[in-house]
């Protein structure tokens, strides 16, 4: 997965973020509405994620099923901000 997105966005590896069904990715972490997704495993899901990050796509039905809940989203974003501070 890293090879598919490494040249298009910043990849920051974190230890456990409390979501055991990984890998977990965050689109637009610095925006007002970051999107936290889990279980991004297939080639098609990776392509859709890259389009979302590039701004050429939206959250599709497939990706919408991967959006994590509010508490896990908040915890993941908190750990990400700590890692990049």
Q: Residue ranges of the domains in the chain? A: 2-84
**% of the chain residues with pLDDT over 90:** 11
pLDDT at position 31:
86
Per-residue pLDDT at 6 exceeds 80: no
Which residue, 68, 58, 81, 6, is CA-closest to 38?
68
Give mean pLDDT, residues 55-72.
88
Per-residue pLDDT at 62 exceeds 80: yes
pLDDT classification of 27: cutoffs 50, 70, 90: confident
């Amino acid at each position: 997965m890293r090879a598919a997105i490494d040249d298009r966005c910043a990849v920051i590896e974190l230890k456990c973020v409390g979501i055991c069904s990984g890998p977990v990715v965050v689109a637009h972490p610095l925006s007002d509405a970051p999107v936290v997704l889990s279980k991004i495993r297939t080639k098609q899901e990776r392509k859709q994620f890259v389009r979302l990050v590039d701004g050429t796509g939206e959250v599709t039905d497939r990706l919408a099923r991967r959006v994590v809940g509010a508490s896990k989203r908040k915890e993941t974003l908190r750990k990400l901000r700590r890692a990049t501070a």
